[in-house]
Amino acid sequence: MSPLDIVIILAVAVAVVLCVRSFVRGRASECSTCGDAGCTARRDGGRCRAADDMLRRASEALDRTARPNAG
């Protein structure tokens, strides 16, 4: 087994460990951390402003494509 094989196996092992760690840490809630410093949705069980904004913008984009002459 060459040194390159060992490096590749170690890199894959590290990636697997980091993925498992991420899954385990993310099980605390269905809401992921969005990076919004003022967001309390995850802690308090409220609505996620980032998700609401994303859905609003997606709906607006779909409305524009459904009515191409309107906007």
> Does the pLDDT of residue 63 top 80, yes or no?
yes
Residue 35: its pLDDT value, please?
Answer: 58
Residue appearing with tokens 């099980």: 27
Number of Cβ within 10 Å of residue 48's Cβ equals 18
Q: Note the pLDDT tens digit of each residue in 2-55.
A: 999 999 999 999 999 998 888 777 655 555 556 566 666 766 777 777 778 888
Residue 21: its pLDDT value, please?
Answer: 86
Residue 3: its pLDDT value, please?
Answer: 93
Distance between CA atoms of residues 8 and 35, nearest Å = 33
pLDDT grade for 66, boundaries at 50, 70 and 90:
confident
DSSP tag of 33: P
DSSP tag of 53: H
